[in-house]
Amino acid sequence: MSQRALSAVEIPFSKPTDGGAQLATRQFSQTDEGCYKLVLLELGIEFRANYLRRERHETFGELVVSCDLPGARVVTTGNVLSRGTFNFSSTQARHQRAMQLADMSKARELDWPRLMEELCVTVLDAEGKGREIVQLRDLPRPAPDEQFDVEGLQLLKQHPAILFGDGGAAKSYLALYLAGRLAERGVRVGLFDWELAGEDHRDRLERLFGPDMPALWYVRCDRPLVVEVDHLRQKAREHRLDYLVYDSVAFAAHGKAEDADSAISYFRCVRQIGPGSIHIAHITKSGDENDRKPFGSTFWHNSARATYFMKRAVESTDGRDVTVGVFNRKANLGRLLPARGFRFTFEADRTIVTKANVADVSDLADQLTLSQRMAYLLKGGPLTIAAIADELRAKVDSVTKTASRNQAFTKVPGADGVYRIALVEKRTP
């Protein structure tokens, strides 16, 4: 009968040349996406590879080494021996970190170079395997509630959306209001902020919701998202955040917004961080299509699963009321949603948000399609084609084509013998 090899711990008087590293029991596991842990049980040494990412064909991440070796120069909290950014693909980086660990641990008898090599090879092998191939038909169907419905806007639970508009369109204010409404339902929402300060958002939040304002988690960011990604992913996991607000793309992007690489790297980071999110963006100052897509590379529009254009109407003469319209420009996972309107009323110590009908606001109605404008108009009753064209300042031919092609409209006879256009009545099943 073969006998189990005894470890250095079980033979106290033994002096293995590698300090017992080879005989120590290994436990290797994946703790999260791009995060791994290697533990040498008998030696009390733990390696953590966190937030791995690929750059220039090399794998970078955070390396944390902890131990309970006697005499080791560790940080009291967590017995951390070393923590910092690390290139797992570099043999030179492995050697340098091994020498540092040998010095800090006061255990030069341990074969630190071999341990570092083992860790890096194991982690790179695990990352290289990637996800298993599966049959699409074997995957579960998406849950029916994969969206948060907030004031008529559909916020995706697992994907990014962009809210874009001109400066001063109250985009940040609306995003904070939507975040607060989600938090009131018990959704754990985080705000990652590159533009304002926590005190500013806190003041707005209290104005919107009063002293008993909902709980939002806030992180002030000073560096591009590609630099902040590890920190933000850690905070999102630590506080179990369900939804995120990024304010704003222009300051969080790494490089020029017009460059495709800026958008691609930005959304790669967003995917690593995790939950569904809404991202505040701007528009170009000129051009016929500046209300169709956010400013910058087309990859901003292409990478988001949904986009919303936000426009501010001319405010009241006293500046007390501001009305904005939100128009769904893209929806990869469903149909385009009807336009939504919001009115912000600024009182002395409160900001009141109410719904508004965009069709009733001349500065916003021009963003609606002719079909949408006709539907709003005909809610008051059937009208002749000439009357519709005159009211909407549209061509008679355009109204005629829209009425004939859209199943939401029908013809009804009038008492004067002239047909009128009416909305089709919706029947309850």
pLDDT tens digit at each of 429 positions of the chain: 445 554 444 544 445 566 778 888 999 999 887 889 999 998 999 999 988 888 889 999 999 999 999 889 998 777 999 999 999 999 999 999 999 999 999 998 899 999 999 999 999 999 988 778 889 999 888 776 789 999 989 999 999 999 999 988 999 999 999 999 999 999 999 999 999 999 999 999 999 999 999 999 999 999 999 889 988 998 999 999 999 999 999 999 998 999 999 999 999 899 989 899 999 999 976 655 678 899 999 999 999 999 999 999 976 777 789 999 999 999 998 888 889 999 999 998 999 999 998 888 888 888 888 888 888 888 889 999 999 999 888 899 999 999 988 888 999 998 888 899 999 876 554
In our burial notation (b when 16+ CB lie closer than 10 A, e otherwise), range 331-363 reads beeeeebebbbbbbebeeeebebeebbbbebee
CATH, domain range 147-364:
3.40.50.300
Calculate the alpha carbon distances from 353 to 30, 143, 164, 171, 219 in Å: 45, 31, 19, 13, 25
The answer to whether the CB of 208 falls within 8 A of the CB of 174 is no
Residue 371, CB-side half-sphere exposure with 13 Å CA sphere: 12
Name the residue among 111, 127, 136, 164 with its Cα closest to residue 324. Answer: 164
pTM as predicted: 0.75
Residues contacting residue 102 through CB under 8 Å, at least 6 positions apart: 108, 110, 112
Tokens of 306: 């949904």
Tell me the C-alpha distance between 116 and 49, whole Å.
11
Mention every residue, 6+ apart, whose C-beta is less than 8 A from residue 92: none
Bridge pairing between strands 45-55 and 58-67: antiparallel
Distance (Å, rounded) from C-alpha 42 to C-alpha 12?
A: 12
Q: For residue 172, what are the contacts with CB-CB under 8 A and spacing of at least 6?
A: 195, 196, 247, 248, 280
Q: What is the CATH number of domain 370-423?
A: 1.10.10.10
Q: Which two tokens stand for residue 179?
A: 């975040």
Cα(340)–Cα(359) distance, integer angstroms: 10
- Contact yes or no for 358/368 (Cβ under 8 A): yes
Q: How far apart are CA 375 and CA 44, in angstroms?
A: 71
Instruction: Give me the pLDDT at residue 274, please.
Output: 87
- Cα–Cα dist 57/77, whole Å: 34
Read off the tokens for 158. 């697992």
Using only C-alpha atoms, the chain has a radius of gyration, in whole angstroms, of: 30
CA angle, 259 as apex, 255 and 261 as ends, to 5°?
80
The ranges assigned to domains in the chain are: 26-129, 147-364, 370-423
Give me the count of residues in the chain: 429
Residue ranges in 168-323 assigned as alpha helix (H)? 171-184, 198-209, 225-238, 249-252, 260-273, 298-303
Same topology, domains 147-364 and 370-423? Answer is: no
Nearest to 344 by CA among 333, 335, 357, 353: 353
